[in-house]
Chain A
């Protein structure tokens, strides 16, 4: 069965520090993977997606993610976090007509 696990419920980083949010998936075939960000009162905004090819994908707002098949992971990274990055982040795997989402990681940014 398809599933996504985001092991970190909350993460706090200092502004300017690097960030890595973990995502592990379970899927029988080649996964199509997504990262979304959700700010309070806002809808989910797509950060990046992976379908095939280069395992390091670049997204908006300076985010990138690396697909590692051997680890069933698709971790999100950013070299230098900005205060405006404080939000909740969701990883998802696509199964044709539906997405399966993780439970999210809330990012706090310290000044």
Chain B
């Protein structure tokens, strides 16, 4: 079946602009995660959804970052007033259920965000 998809694959924007990044999880997966991967680093956790609600947003760096998942499937990560330091690859993952440490996360290809 289809894996996790993310759009766009690349996004170039100017400092101060607003961007939206979309994630379409594997069908039937109730849990959805966002990570940020900076150059030369491993992915860092941003936020996790169980269904429609954000169950853990402790990784969001500041209030310019926000994510939604209104129908419990597709999620959008929103970044306001972008800064050059926001440039990174934003990864989305989904898993069948959540709350279990053994739950395997399946990752999308990512969106490469470049803030000029």
Contact, CB under 8 Å: A98 / B33 = yes
How far, in Å, is A66 (CB) from chain B's closest CB? 19
Contact of A104 among B42, B100, B106 (CB under 8 A): B42
Which residues does chain B contribute within 8 Å of A96, judged by CB atoms? 99-101
Most chain A CB atoms below 10 A, which of B35, B43, B44:
B43
Question: Which residues from 87 to 110 on chain B have a C-beta closer than 8 Å to any C-beta of chain A?
Answer: 91, 93, 98-110
A90: chain B residues at CB < 8 Å are 42-43
Asked if A41 and B109 make an inter-chain contact with CB atoms under 8 angstroms apart, the answer reads: yes
Chain A residues with Cβ under 8 A from B110's Cβ?
43
Residue in contact with B48 in the complex, picked from A4, A6, A98, A104, CB distance below 8 Å: A98
Tell me whether B20 is interfacial, beta carbon within 8 Å. no
A88 to chain B: closest residue by CB: B42
Q: Which of B41, B45, B102 contacts A99 (CB 8 A)?
A: B45
| Interface bracket on A | 20 to 34
* Cβ–Cβ < 8 Å partners of B1 in chain A: none
A8: shortest Cβ distance to chain B, in Å?
A: 13
Specify which chain A residues have a CB less than 8 angstroms from the CB of B21 in the assembled complex: none
Determine whether the beta carbon of A104 is less than 8 Å from that of B41: yes
Q: Are A101 and B43 in contact (CB under 8 A)?
A: yes
A-B contact pairs, 28 of them (CB 8 A): A4-B42, A32-B102, A36-B107, A42-B109, A43-B4, A43-B91, A43-B108, A43-B109, A44-B43, A45-B107, A49-B102, A49-B104, A51-B101, A90-B42, A96-B100, A96-B101, A97-B31, A97-B33, A97-B55, A98-B56, A98-B59, A99-B43, A99-B105, A101-B43, A102-B42, A104-B40, A104-B41, A104-B42
New contact pairs (9) apart from A43-B91, A43-B108, A97-B48, CB-CB < 8 Å: A43-B4, A43-B109, A44-B91, A94-B102, A97-B55, A99-B105, A100-B45, A103-B41, A104-B42
